[in-house]
């Protein structure tokens, strides 16, 4: 979000990043926010404290029980709609707010944007392929009418991306009753209500899937919001670093275009067997890798 803010700043827009502070914010999260604030003096940060859970009206708590998995970030962020609405309402008295840009976890703030008549955009921090699959998932799930984990190994076809096996889906998506999967399905069902989708990619990287999104193939029966390829936005870590990371020093010393880079995402994990297979494959390829 900070990298996107810098992009907006370069285009002459003023940016406020609204940070939701959960009652039991971890020290890791708090210090990451503190570092981002310190490293980006030109961005305005607004902290939005959430009430502790016992002050949330009982109805909301009851509704969340049983239906929502524990630590559901969507539910937590939904609670911030009221303070967000108050904050935006007061901000609107002194300035015009041209847009609200939401992370997927904050998609329920679409209600706040609608209340206040402010256009809302999605900022999708991953690439267009993952967005396209996620947007098509509710439709595919309804078509398949079974858990993806129970339908065998025949390749699945999603618009704009190469066919893939059901087992290549995130593990939560293999069980249609999985609570985490269900909240993601509902979140992506809301996305087409956004005014536009800002995707952390660039056209040359994913031309086919960007075209599929723009043609409306991923969300049949509903208009797909415009797609804006705003990437690559890569975090510098939000830290002022005077010392280059050892990996970067090594990378700089390699010939141009000679290094294979593997990135498994912030929550990527593999079984020991898979990791060994990857390591062996890399080793045998004879390529430099990071
Ligand atoms: C989905 O499958 C169930 C049986 O598992 C069946 O009763 C139902 O009619 C199916 N729905 C559709 C839309 O095909």
Residue 227 and residue 252 share a domain: no
Q: pLDDT band for position 228 (50/70/90)? A: very high
As a residue count, the chain comes to 290
Examine residue 121 and state whether it is found in any structural domain, yes or no: yes
Distance 216 CA to ligand 1 centre (A): 27
Distance 76 CA to ligand 1 centre (A): 33
Q: pLDDT band for position 24 (50/70/90)? A: confident
- Provide the greatest CA pair distance for the chain: 63
For the segment 280-287, the average pLDDT, to the nearest whole number, is 94
Examine residue 219 and state whether it is found in any structural domain, yes or no: yes
pLDDT tens track for 135-170: 999 999 999 999 999 999 999 999 999 999 999 999
Residue 250 and residue 234 share a domain: no
Distance 187 CA to ligand 1 centre (A): 23
State whether residue 285 is helix, strand or coil: helix
Distance 104 CA to ligand 1 centre (A): 30
For the segment 46-53, the average pLDDT, to the nearest whole number, is 80
Query: For residue 266, is pLDDT > 60?
Result: yes
Query: For residue 74, is pLDDT > 60?
Result: yes
For the segment 245-268, the average pLDDT, to the nearest whole number, is 87
For the segment 181-204, the average pLDDT, to the nearest whole number, is 97
| End residue of a domain, out of 220, 242, 264 | 242
Residues paired with 288 in a beta bridge: 259
Residue 256 and residue 123 share a domain: no
CA separation for the pair 168, 170 (Å, rounded): 7
Residue 226 and residue 285 share a domain: no
Spacing of C-alpha 116 from chain mean position: 24
For the segment 13-23, the average pLDDT, to the nearest whole number, is 89
Q: What is the mean pLDDT of the chain?
A: 89
Examine residue 279 and state whether it is found in any structural domain, yes or no: yes
Q: Omega into 165 within 30° of 0, i.e. cis?
A: no
Query: For residue 242, is pLDDT > 80?
Result: no
Residue 255 and residue 211 share a domain: no
Residue 118 and residue 256 share a domain: no
Its domain, for residue 277, covers: 244-290
State whether residue 209 is helix, strand or coil: helix
State whether residue 49 is helix, strand or coil: strand
Residue 249 and residue 108 share a domain: no
For 84, the enclosing helix (H) or strand (E) is helix 81-94
Residue 289 and residue 197 share a domain: no
The structural domain count of the chain equals 2
Distance 177 CA to ligand 1 centre (A): 15
pLDDT of res. 29: 78
Query: For residue 33, is pLDDT > 90?
Result: no
Examine residue 169 and state whether it is found in any structural domain, yes or no: no
Q: pLDDT band for position 245 (50/70/90)? A: confident
Look-up of token digits 């618009």: 159
Distance 199 CA to ligand 1 centre (A): 35
Examine residue 174 and state whether it is found in any structural domain, yes or no: no
User: How many H helices and E strands in the chain?
Assistant: 11, 8
Q: pLDDT band for position 224 (50/70/90)? A: very high
Spacing of C-alpha 77 from chain mean position: 14
pLDDT tens track for 76-127: 889 999 999 999 999 999 888 999 999 999 999 999 999 999 999 999 999 9
CA separation for the pair 147, 173 (Å, rounded): 8
Distance 153 CA to ligand 1 centre (A): 21
The tokens describing 99, both together, are 């847009």
Which CB contacts under 8 angstroms, 24+ apart, belong to 5-13? 5/40, 5/43, 6/40, 6/43, 7/230, 7/233, 9/42, 9/43, 13/98
Examine residue 67 and state whether it is found in any structural domain, yes or no: yes
CA separation for the pair 242, 227 (Å, rounded): 37
Residue 255 and residue 235 share a domain: no
Residue 284 and residue 207 share a domain: no
Residue 40 and residue 21 share a domain: yes
Angstrom CA distances, 253 to 188, 222, 243, 246, 285, stand at 42, 50, 16, 11, 20
DSSP secondary structure, 144-195, as one string: H-S-GGGS-SPPB--TTS--B-GGGS-GGGGSTT-HHHHHHHHHHHHGGGSS
Distance 145 CA to ligand 1 centre (A): 6
Examine residue 32 and state whether it is found in any structural domain, yes or no: yes
Least-confidence region, from 32-46, 169-183, 234-248, 250-264: 234-248
Distance 133 CA to ligand 1 centre (A): 23
Query: For residue 39, is pLDDT > 70?
Result: yes
Distance 80 CA to ligand 1 centre (A): 37
Q: CATH no. for residue 90?
A: 3.40.50.2000
The tokens describing 58, both together, are 């009982």
pLDDT of res. 231: 93
Examine residue 170 and state whether it is found in any structural domain, yes or no: no
Distance 142 CA to ligand 1 centre (A): 9
Residue 236 and residue 255 share a domain: no
Q: Which residues contact 183 (CB under 8 A, 6 or more apart)?
A: 68, 69, 72, 74, 75
């Amino acid at each position: 979000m900070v990298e996107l803010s810098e992009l907006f700043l370069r285009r002459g827009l003023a940016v406020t990043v609204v940070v939701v502070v959960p009652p039991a914010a971890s020290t890791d999260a708090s210090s990451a926010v503190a570092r981002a604030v310190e490293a980006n003096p030109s961005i305005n940060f607004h902290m939005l404290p959430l009430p502790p859970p016992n002050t949330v009206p009982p109805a909301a708590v009851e509704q969340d029980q049983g239906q929502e998995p524990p630590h559901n970030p969507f539910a937590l962020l939904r609670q911030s709609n009221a303070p967000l609405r108050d904050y935006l309402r007061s901000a609107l008295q002194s300035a015009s707010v041209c847009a609200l840009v939401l992370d997927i976890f904050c998609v329920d703030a679409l209600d706040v944007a609608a209340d206040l008549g402010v256009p809302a955009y999605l900022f999708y921090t991953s690439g267009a392929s993952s967005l396209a699959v996620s947007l098509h998932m509710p439709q595919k799930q309804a078509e398949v009418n079974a858990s993806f984990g129970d339908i065998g190994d025949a390749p699945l076809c999603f618009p704009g991306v190469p066919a893939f096996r059901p087992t290549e889906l995130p593990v939560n998506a293999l069980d249609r009753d999985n609570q985490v999967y269900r909240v993601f399905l509902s979140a992506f069902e809301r996305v087409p209500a956004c005014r536009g989708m800002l995707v952390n990619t660039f056209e040359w990287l994913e031309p086919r899937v960007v075209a599929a999104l723009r043609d409306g193939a991923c969300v049949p029966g509903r208009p797909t919001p415009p797609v804006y390829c705003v990437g690559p936005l890569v975090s510098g870590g939000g830290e002022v670093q005077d010392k280059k990371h050892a990996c970067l020093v090594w990378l700089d010393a390699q010939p141009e275009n000679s290094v294979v880079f593997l990135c498994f995402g912030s929550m990527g994990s593999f079984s020991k067997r898979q990791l060994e297979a990857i390591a062996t494959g890399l080793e045998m390829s004879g390529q430099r890798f990071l």
